[in-house]
A = this chain, B = another copy of it.
Amino acid sequence: MNSAVSEPALIGVDWGTSSLRAFLIDTDGQVIEGVSSPEGIMQVSGNTFEAVLDRLIGPWVSQTDLPILASGMITSRNGWVETPYEQMPLGACRLAQALVPHDTESGVRVHFVTGASVEHAGGPDVMRGEEAQIIGASALGLSEGAFVMPGTHSKWVQVADGKIVDFSTYMTGEIFAALKGHTILGTLMTDDTFDEEAFTIGAKAGLEGSSNLLHSLFHVRTLPLMGKIPNGATADYMSGLLIGTEIAAAIIDESEMDAVTIVGRNDLSERYEIALRLAGLECRHAPDDIVAKGHFLIAQAAGLVG
Contacts and interface: CB of A to CB of B under 8 A. Distances in A.
19 contacts: A77-B225, A121-B210, A123-B205, A123-B216, A123-B219, A123-B223, A124-B219, A125-B218, A126-B225, A153-B218, A171-B217, A172-B214, A175-B217, A178-B179, A181-B182, A182-B182, A212-B213, A212-B245, A215-B249
Contacts of A124: 219, 222-223, 225-226, 228
A168 interface: yes
A55 interface: no
Q: Which of A117, A175, A217 has the most CB of B within 10 A?
A: A175
B178 A182 contact: yes
A122 interface: yes
Q: Which of A120, A170, A171, A181 has the most CB of B within 10 A?
A: A171
Interface in A208-251: 208, 210-219, 222-223, 225-226, 228, 242, 245-246, 248-249
B210 A213 contact: no
Nearest to A205: B122
Q: Which of A77, A123, A174 has the most CB of B within 10 A?
A: A123
A184 interface: yes
Given A124-B222, A124-B226, A125-B222, A212 B170 contact: yes
A215 B252 CA distance: 13
A217 B168 CA distance: 12
A121 B182 CA distance: 27
A183 interface: yes
B212 A183 contact: no
Contact of A218 (B121, B169, B205, B245): B169
A253 B126 CA distance: 33
A60 B219 CA distance: 40
Interface string A150-185: 000100000000000000111110110111011111
DSSP majority for the A interface? helix
A198 B172 CA distance: 24
Using C-beta atoms within 8 Å of the partner chain, give the interface range for chain A: 35 or more
A183 B178 contact: yes
B246 A170 contact: no
A248 B212 CA distance: 9
A148 B226 CA distance: 24
A17 B175 CA distance: 24
Contacts of A219: 122-124
A242 B214 contact: yes
Contacts of A216: 122-123
